[in-house]
């Protein structure tokens, strides 16, 4: 099974559905949509640092959005599910599914990492 190396013992059933089975949480359901403090967003499965808070922006899309990832923290692959082609985002350490990457973000990168909030934990600095 893909992503069987994700640490299973510390994940909720919803986190497992998203991170291992490539699910998507309901839009607007994550409290991280409203998080504005300084800190880092880490992988809910393995704790790898993925995004800095200064790269987060409110895209009003229903999921936490970032215009840049921490170097080396993210891996991508082409996703052909749901009759479309998208770029899927995974944690580079544990391979857990995080969300998708789009080319409609703000400067300076023009990228939007659209990430499931339950795939993240926030560490305040």
Secondary structure E strands in 24-73 = 39-43, 49-52, 56-57, 65-66
Q: Are 41 and 120 in contact (CB under 8 A)?
A: yes
Q: Are 106 and 88 in contact (CB under 8 A)?
A: no
Sequence length of the chain is 125
Catalytic residue numbers, as ranges: 114
Q: Are 106 and 65 in contact (CB under 8 A)?
A: no
Please name the residue that has the structure tokens 């391979």.
Answer: 95
Secondary structure E strands in the chain = 39-43, 49-52, 56-57, 65-66, 74-79, 86-91, 97-102, 112-115, 120-124
């Amino acid at each position: 099974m893909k992503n069987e190396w994700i640490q299973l013992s510390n994940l909720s059933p919803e986190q497992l559905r998203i991170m291992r089975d490539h699910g998507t949480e309901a839009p607007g359901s994550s409290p991280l949509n409203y998080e504005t403090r300084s800190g880092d967003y880490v992988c809910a499965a393995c704790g790898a640092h993925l995004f800095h808070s200064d790269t987060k922006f409110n895209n009003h899309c229903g999921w936490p959005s970032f215009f840049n990832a921490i170097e080396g923290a993210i891996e991508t692959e082409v996703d052909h599910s749901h009759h479309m082609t998208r770029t899927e985002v995974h944690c580079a350490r544990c391979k857990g599914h995080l969300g998708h990457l789009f080319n409609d973000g703000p400067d300076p990168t023009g990228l939007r990492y659209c990430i499931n909030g339950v795939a993240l934990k926030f560490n305040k600095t």
